[in-house]
Amino acid sequence: MDQSVRSRVISNALRLGVHPLMDRIPGHAGSIRTARSTVDAASLLMRHTQRVRIHALQDPGVESGEPPVTGEWVVSRDAETAPGDGTAPGAILYLHGGGYVLCSPRTHRPITSRLTLDTGLPVLVPRYRLAPEHPFPAPLEDAVAAYRWLLARGVPSAGIVLAGDSAGGHLAAALAGEICRTGLPSPAGVVLFSPWVDLTCELSAAAEARDPYISARSARRVARLVVGPDGFDDPRVALLACAWTDTPPVLIQVGGAEVLRPEAEALAGALTAAGADCELQVWDGQMHVFQILNRVLPEAGAAMRDAARFIGAVTEPARAGAAA
């Protein structure tokens, strides 16, 4: 598919107006908190489609001993079952992006709303802890708690799809690895939008892509605030060093113009070499997490339909069993 006129206009606007600012954001806690406040304030102005309902989730985790599970459910307004009541044949566990330092479930409603409408599945978006106050593995601990929470409420693992974008894509992949390492029931599949695979940023730094949004230099500054005491050597951080045994089917979508493209390609290669069923889609000319513009860009809408197709295929056995 040739890049649409709308896509070219938006990419050029970001390259001229946003990229220079992103490239110069200092990598220290004060600047991160200022950016976080700005993003959170802007998200209050975003109106989600009236075709979905948003349900707040607040589980203190006292009985289970797990970290608290907070966030929101995003469900179709026509959904017959209530989220978390144990009757749904499946769910999407969505982990939002934002470099592990920014954003929230609210900021990613354009993606989560589209996912629930296209798949018919409820979408759980946990509010995981952010760096630099809570470096890795705190976000992973929260993601594991959310997955366990779904299982404890009767959602079958064969009906659960892990999904995420950018840093949330890294977190979704890390969660898949942690599920395998700890012996938890495997999910049905994993969907990664523009995943931030290599937190050392070595692969992205070597890329020559003219990313209209982010740069390897700015990503590396943020990464230093994200990693915990074990640094980049933490095996839960280093996705390309994972064994990836018994991994469920994976769909990776990445923009052809983004600096993280080599990382997505490297992860797809590692998964395939390990015997996993991995589908890599490179969308020509598209920027980082272009899927969030699915109500504007035709390419983003098509990408979301492909994601829904994948999710429907991997959860079909669980849905068929629930209907029987």
Indicate if 258 belongs to the active site.
yes
Axis crossing angle, helix 138-152 with helix 167-182, rounded to the nearest 10: 60
Catalytic, out of 166, 194, 204, 218? 166
Distances (CA, A) of 30 to 26, 123, 225: 9, 32, 12
Indicate if 31 belongs to the active site.
no
CB-count burial class (<10 Å; 0-12, 13-18, 19+) for 281 = middle
The Cα 142–Cα 136 span in angstroms is 10
Catalytic, out of 19, 66, 288, 299? 288
Axis crossing angle, helix 298-323 with helix 109-119, rounded to the nearest 10: 50
Distances (CA, A) of 225 to 129, 134, 144, 231: 13, 9, 21, 10
**Residues in the chain, total:** 324
The residue type of 9 is V
Catalytic, out of 72, 258, 263, 299? 258
Residues forming a β-bridge with 58: 70
Q: Which residues contact 199 (CB under 8 A, 6 or more apart)?
A: 170, 223, 226, 227, 232, 237
CB-count burial class (<10 Å; 0-12, 13-18, 19+) for 96 = buried
> By the 8 A CB rule, do 25 and 92 touch?
no
- Give the pair of three-digit tokens for residue 297: 């860009």
The Cα 281–Cα 255 span in angstroms is 8
* DSSP three-state, residue 54: strand
The Cα 70–Cα 90 span in angstroms is 19
Indicate if 166 belongs to the active site.
yes
Point out the residues that are catalytic. 166, 258, 288
